[in-house]
Structure 1
């Protein structure tokens, strides 16, 4: 009788493991160092500028534009998250390391039906291991 109960318990546990997925898999952070040049097109969706950074997103080409607004040793960046079917699909950063007053861009490729959110941020790698994020969460697509 114990063997039957144990076998049934193991069968139920195996079935639940197949039917009910476990925790989400960890996503790799996509880190891109932005290419210097130009400025965002008029069609780009831009977040309100913060003290050290302004970010725009060109939906038609999936291009991030990052403006470094402060003459300090920090780099401006966008900390973005991409969702598909209400689930986190990709995460990444686009970092402008070209200095104050420069626009730089990262060309990505997102699904058109996905949602894209992000935080403007900055990172002084001489002083900090992580970046500082402005609290405003921006929705750029979806």
Structure 2
């Protein structure tokens, strides 16, 4: 938390990143690459998104979004914070905004899921592993 006489250098805004920024953040955070064509298509089909902006430069340094059908299924996706800006609570702030959106808009009994690449972070928001009741599966296109 910043001291009262030091303004917060970060702003969390309800918006999606530009495709190139999206790709760059995924790369910087060590996430698997996505094609620019896929990013452009996918971003426009997002339900909701937030970015973290570093105020001194105006640079987008973090992101997260929700994909799904907007009624029965929501997936938290593409959570990333640039390594130069990690450990400052940005991931928590992004996730809190995504969770607030779901809490305000999702109908009862909607299914909210995510694939996590870190232990302990999402559990703070009430997420649980699906095993043994179910298992997550995936495949990639060629």
TM-score (normalizing by structure 2): 0.27
Q: Greater helix share, 1 or 2? A: 2
Q: Greater strand share, 1 or 2? A: 1
